[in-house]
Copies of this chain bind each other. A is one copy, B any other.
Amino acid sequence: MKQTADLKPQRVRGFTVAGVHAGMKKNGALDFALIVADRDCVAAGVFTKNQSKAAPVLVSQEHLAARATSIRAVAINTTSANAMTGRVGVENARITARMVAAKLGVQPEQVLVMSTGVIGTHLPMPKIEQGIELAFAQLGADWESAARGIMTTDTRPKMASLRVLSADGEYTITGISKGAGMIAPNMATMLGVIVTDAELSREHAMIALRFATDRSFNRIVVDGDTSTNDAVFLLASGASGVHLRTTADMHQFNEALLIVAQSLAQQIVRDGEGATKFITLEVVGARSDAEAHAIGHTIAASPLVKTAFYGGDANWGRIVAAAGRAPALFNPDTARLLIGRGEALTDDAPGLLLFENGLPTRYSEAEASAIFREADIIVRLELGLGNGAATVWTCDLSHEYVSINGDYRS
């Protein structure tokens, strides 16, 4: 049986955290988070592929390039994305890192920064400074506050933990993330920080993070937009004393990290802006995994598919039409489409076959509609062209999404 992540965040040796209200959110909610390591960490990051990279992305990329084996903290603010803010924005990101570093008595390059919020506004530096002060005063094990401190239009914090028993002993992986809108799979696609007390090499940290993000954060779609600020960091303190020496140990870590990352990614989809449904899109039989992913992404990003799910309308033709315009080979004559309840089709619940041999089957419309009205829906598209497979998670497009995004800044 597949291991699942614990939604209650577990303490990780070597790390303390805090989430505070620094006066940025008008409603008094937590708006600044800090993650601090008591020793040098091996760290890796994946970043947005958007060509308009926010200042914190540019600065964190620099710092990781310089100090990937001695990162000591991550500082995260909300309300301002510090994107499209020019040299002043980059300087503000550097000042944030410098202030945190001064508190820790380390170099500024040992601090990573993240921002989320409105594009084109400068960081409110006095409030950032206040956030740092408050956060240092409250550093502890309260991961939930940290997760709340990075929320924007999220309605709930995203947290996941996993304890792993390796050949060399036990270690923990804990992560937080935020999402809600501007979510599409293009490298890392939101903010996420995952820490572990296992000891990793720099190379393994990067490989593990790529492996996990490619199969988690890069497989979710809320609205198809890719932010200027997307980033996911992995920090490994080594404080458990557990070394991952063998290939088996490394694989075990990669799979454990993937479980935590998938949990965080799926929590983002479930809390997508205005989402009322959680849809698992399983594409199999493609010429390659990449083509399966391309088809899954095109279906997941289609406004017509998403509104059909919202309306509980079993308008499956939109799914096949979206597959047909994806940048990957698709042949309706060899394709089969099944739908079911929950997150996977099983032998006991094999799903309802809607489309086969280029034709709708004689399925029951009542049964199809009943499935489309569920909150958790699994869609399986079998292409019959090869062995490529990918699973993409998405949500529906609701009136509430339009309300939230038509009115975000006010």
Name A residues whose Cβ lies closer than 8 Å to a Cβ of B: 49-53, 81, 83-88, 118-121, 181-182, 186, 223-228, 301-304, 307-308, 310-313, 315-318, 320-325, 329-333, 355, 357-360, 397-399, 401-403, 405-410
Contacts and interface: CB of A to CB of B under 8 A. Distances in A.
Given A316-B120, A331-B51, A405 B307 contact: yes
A185 to B, nearest CB: 11
A308 B406 contact: yes
Contact of A83 (B51, B84, B317, B330): B317
Given A50-B324, A313-B406, 16 more contacts: A50-B325, A52-B330, A85-B359, A86-B333, A120-B316, A181-B304, A182-B321, A224-B224, A224-B303, A225-B318, A228-B321, A304-B405, A307-B401, A315-B408, A315-B409, A399-B403
Given A120-B360, A317-B83, A399-B402, A51 B228 contact: no
Given A52-B320, A120-B355, A304 B86 contact: no
Contacts of A317: 81, 83-84, 118-120, 228
A355 B405 contact: no
A52 B331 CA distance: 7
Which DSSP category, helix, strand, loop or mixed, fits chain A's interface? loop
B84 A322 contact: no
A154 B164 CA distance: 57
A49 B321 CA distance: 11
Contacts of A307: 401-402, 405-406
Contacts of A401: 303, 307, 402
Contact of A302 (B224, B228, B315): B224
A311 B50 contact: no
A407 B309 CA distance: 10
A128 to B, nearest CB: 19
Given A355-B120, A397-B402, A409-B313, A83 B303 contact: no
A201 to B, nearest CB: 32
A323 B313 CA distance: 33
Number of copies: 2
A321 B355 contact: no
A360 B84 contact: yes
B225 A304 contact: yes
Contacts of A88: 359
Contact of A52 (B224, B312, B332): B332
A405 B308 contact: yes
A321 B186 CA distance: 13
B84 A355 contact: yes
A225 B84 CA distance: 30
Contacts of A315: 118-119, 408-409
A117 to B, nearest CB: 10
Query: 8 nearest interchain CB pairs?
Result: A119-B317, A311-B406, A52-B324, A307-B405, A86-B359, A51-B324, A50-B324, A86-B358
A304 B186 contact: no
Contact of A182 (B224, B304, B312, B355): B304
A227 B324 CA distance: 9
